[in-house]
Amino acid sequence: MTLKLTYFDIRGLAEPIRLLLNDQEIPFEDNRISREEWAEMKSTMIFAQLPCLHIGTETIVQSAAILRHLGRIYGLNGSTESETSFIDMFSEGLRDLRTKYFTMIKTDYEDGKEAYITETLPGELLRIEKLFCTFNNGENFVSGDKLSYADYALFELLDIHLILTPTALNGTPALKRFHGRFAERPNMRLYLNKRAELNPFVSGNGKQ
């Protein structure tokens, strides 16, 4: 089965998907397109947006649907209904914070960054940390002993906040430990080192 992930040459909404594929050693074509190519392609996309995953003969869009699809087929979606629901719930919570982050980055970076860092972020991260500590006191993965797609989404969300402010995780020690641990998974380390050479922007407007 061939996999082709199409997105822009930024981290954005595709990066948790790239992290999962690289960490799991799933071969895929990382198709990073230019704005000119996008202008040609936009009208052919289901919701006129990216990312898009071609997987065999299937086409899947919507970043969360892509991540969940990969989670289901590669065994990264929990082992019971209750685990899967927890993973979904956790991911949707992450999505809410990611939306706040990208809204600030895209619409209010100059005026809103400081307030986001000092007023919005600490409470949001504390809530995520509390939920993360549900299983094994946060010493393993989101859903306990078993890795899931949510771990990739969590890692990327923490990582982009560390770019925004290097002290982002100082008030959430379990999340900080998770970030450090996860970055040292051998395939993650390989990918992160490779990515560091290219250093793509988090967002299309170059603010991060």
Residues that bind ligand GSH (CB under 6 A): 12-13, 42, 49-51, 62-64
Query: Closest residue to ligand GSH, Cβ-based?
Result: 49
Least distance between ligand GSH and beta carbon 149 (Å): 14
User: Judged by CB, which is closer to ligand GSH: 51, or 138?
Assistant: 51
CA dihedral 104, 168, 156, 22 (to 10 degrees): 150
CB of 51 to ligand GSH, least distance (A): 6
Six-digit token string for 151: 């771990």
Q: Which region holds residue 6: left if phi is over 0, alpha if psi is between -120 and 50, else beta?
A: beta
Closest CB to ligand GSH among residues 49, 103: 49
Instruction: Give the C-alpha separation, 134 to 142, whole Å.
Output: 8
CB 142 within 8 A of CB 151: yes
| Shortest distance in whole angstroms from residue 32 CB to ligand GSH | 12
With respect to ligand GSH, which residue has the nearer C-beta, 8 or 86? 8
Least Å distance, CB 174 to ligand GSH, is 27
Least distance from C-beta 61 to ligand GSH, angstroms? 6
Does the bond joining 51 to the residue before it have cis omega, within 30 degrees of 0?
yes
| Residue 164 · residue 208 · CB < 8 Å | yes
Instruction: Provide the minimum distance between the beta carbon of 136 and ligand GSH in the complex, in angstroms, as a whole number.
Output: 30
Indicate the angle between helix axes 186-198 and 173-183, nearest 10 degrees: 90
User: For ligand GSH, which is the closer residue by CB, 65 or 115?
Assistant: 65
**Closer by beta carbon to ligand GSH, 45 or else 133:** 45
At residue 106, the 3 state secondary structure works out as helix
E-assigned strands of 9-97?
A: 29-33, 52-55, 58-61
Nearer to ligand GSH, 45 or 131 (CB): 45
